[in-house]
Structure 1
Amino acid sequence: MPHDDHDTIDGDVYVAPRHLARSTAVSDPGLDPLRDLGWDLHHDHLGNAYLTAPDGKLRLGYLPEGDDDGLWRINAYKDAFGPPAWGVCFNDSAPTEFVTAFTTALAEAYRQGPDRYLARPLAGSTDRDPFQAVDPLINRGWCFDRPDLRTFAITSPDGLATLEYTTGDLDPAIELETRDARWHLWAGTSSARPYWYATASTDTPAALLRAVTEAVADPAPLPRWRDDTPSYVKDHAQTSPIHPPSPPTPTPLDVRRAAASRRPAALPAASVPRWSTTSRHALPGQRR
């Protein structure tokens, strides 16, 4: 659906690389792909928003007044009354464009049915291999690392964004309620205090994960407002004006100078003989 002016993401500067941008105050772009499908939207008395699919098997919570910094929580269910099959969380500083990439892919998966939005990752599969989520980052120069025996990581060229994958068995409840999930995407100099983060549990479909990493890897900068730019962006990111600065207002002196430059130059005076009392008359020529 088209956005009103107050629902669009805009700004006065571009931020690059985009993983250093923060969340915006506009949530509609992240909600709209699912609202366009007719999902039920309601709010609680605190102002949190909830979207539920018609079959009750997909739910999104936008929780500015939640118990923690998990602003976006999306869960899928095999049984509408059972435990979640998978869960994804974006915290309150995660760039809104990354959330929108996920919800857009989720809307498409929902159109195709449960076989898509409940498709468990399957190593070696053409379209379900979980590591297809890593490809967009590798193609943009991200480098592999192994910080410990249980974790694989891939880090951005500037060292300020990391995607971590934890091996072994994980407790499903812990994955859904903490940052100790199968997938952990974050930006910053330390995972303990990231600029922003996102998590995804073990059975999150690979195609949905890839939609997020494609958005992260996109080289296009993101628009933000300079006055809302945190210090770490100013220290590490490149910011450039979205529109060139307007020329200064001309002063009265500037106006006069411009008018003078457009005025045609005066023609030189014609050469006219001047006679004075001391001038001698021309001598007569020789007679024939």
Structure 2
Amino acid sequence: MRQPEAPQASEAEIDGDVFVSPRHLAGRTEVGDPGLEPLLALGWELRHDDLSNVFVTAPDRKVRLGYLPEGEDDGLWRINAYNDLFAPPVWGVCFNDSCPTEFVTAFTTALARAYEQGPDAYLAPPDPGHADRDPFLAVVPLIDRGWQFDRPHHNVFAIRSPDKLACLEFTTGHLNPEAELTTRDARWHLWAGTSAHRPAWYATASTDTPVPLLTAVTECVSDPAPLPRWRQATFSYVKGMASLTPIVAPRRAAPTPLDIQRAASRRPAALPASSVPRWSTTSRPALPGPRR
């Protein structure tokens, strides 16, 4: 006889670790380390100021990343690249303080790969005349996963996720180069939520951002796999729209008497209390909110 299905827990009843789906509604993690690791693994210089802002610089000084929890606005991650150390950036990317950290990590991982290939990779601007630099390539992962184009509005082309709660906008025509680096008036504008004016999170990329770096982000954003989060930290997903599934750790088999005997034979006679490793599933304190 078929057993009746167990009643599903409501969102309010779910606690602890959860999977959030779709992933563009997951919100940030409270730790930025994963976004820094691909660049630090290449030996990039790490420094910080007395406000706990973090700065990572490439060995040739031509790429710089700022992780700015105490910055002047809500741009938590800012990455700029330079042809000339004394000139304005060639391209710039910004992820705000609510953007899922996995999307930042996808970008920095692609950036690390491009940096190893040399300036022709990490400074190469989009070019429809080159098969591997056509800006349309950045949109292909979204199309392949069911995102659909909206009707163009003025000079903006937009493609939306199936649930209509994430959007990538591409603006045509001339843009102010300085505004692209310091505001949301950039060539590429990726956001999630119910409104572009008050998004749950956003990311921007200026005109000459290399296509493989953009594609890494759209691949990650549209990945159907959910993202793990601590339930109490899912403050930035769109309320009632994300699917939360409890993460259940696999049950471990009870140790056999032989297992216990082997463990006892390897254990020192006594361990000082300070040597006992401790851990917690709780998140680090939340970063300061935007000042804007």
TM-score category of the 2 structures, normalised to the smaller one:
0.7 to 0.9
**Runs of 4+ off more than 4 Å:** 231-234
* Corresponding residue of 1:70: 75
* Corresponding residue of 2:127: 122
Deviation at 1:245, TM superposition (A): 9.9
Equivalent residue for 2:195, pick from 176, 185, 190 = 190
- CA 1:231–1:118: 2 relative to 1, 3 Å: closer
Identity %: 71
Deviation at 1:146, TM superposition (A): 3.0
Query: Which of structures 1 and 2 has the larger relative contact order (alpha carbons within 8 angstroms, sep 6+)?
Result: 2
- CA 1:217–1:45: 2 relative to 1, 3 Å: same
Q: CA RMSD, aligned part only? A: 1.4
CA distance in 2, matches of 1:38, 1:210: 25
Corresponding position: 1:169 with 2:178: no
Deviates more, 1:235-244 or 1:169-178: 235-244
Deviations 1:108-144 (A, max 9, x none): 0000000000001001421100110000000110000
* Corresponding residue of 1:43: 48
Partner-residue secondary structure (3-state), 2:240: helix
List aligned pairs for 1:1-288, cutoff 5 A: 12-230=17-235, 232-243=237-248
CA distance in 2, matches of 1:196, 1:234: 14
Relative to the length of structure 2, the TM-score reads 0.79
Partner-residue secondary structure (3-state), 1:235: coil
Question: What is the letter of the counterpart of residue 124 of structure 2?
Answer: A
Greater radius of gyration (CA): 1
Partner-residue secondary structure (3-state), 1:46: coil
Deviation at 1:147, TM superposition (A): 4.5
CA distance in 1, matches of 2:32, 2:236: 23
CA distance in 2, matches of 1:147, 1:190: 17
Deviations 1:26-83 (A, max 9, x none): 1110000000011111001111000000101000000000000000000000012211
Structure 2: any 5+ residue segments left out of the alignment?
1-15, 252-292
Deviation at 1:154, TM superposition (A): 0.1
Relative to the length of structure 1, the TM-score reads 0.80
- CA 1:57–1:231: 2 relative to 1, 3 Å: closer
Structure 1: any 5+ residue segments left out of the alignment?
1-10, 247-288
Deviation at 1:145, TM superposition (A): 1.1
CA distance in 2, matches of 1:207, 1:174: 23
Deviation at 1:149, TM superposition (A): 1.9
- CA 1:232–1:19: 2 relative to 1, 3 Å: closer
Deviates more, 1:122-131 or 1:35-44: 122-131
Deviations 1:167-224 (A, max 9, x none): 0001100000100000000000100000000000000000000000000011110000
CA distance in 1, matches of 2:56, 2:151: 38
Partner-residue secondary structure (3-state), 1:66: coil
CA distance in 2, matches of 1:82, 1:231: 37
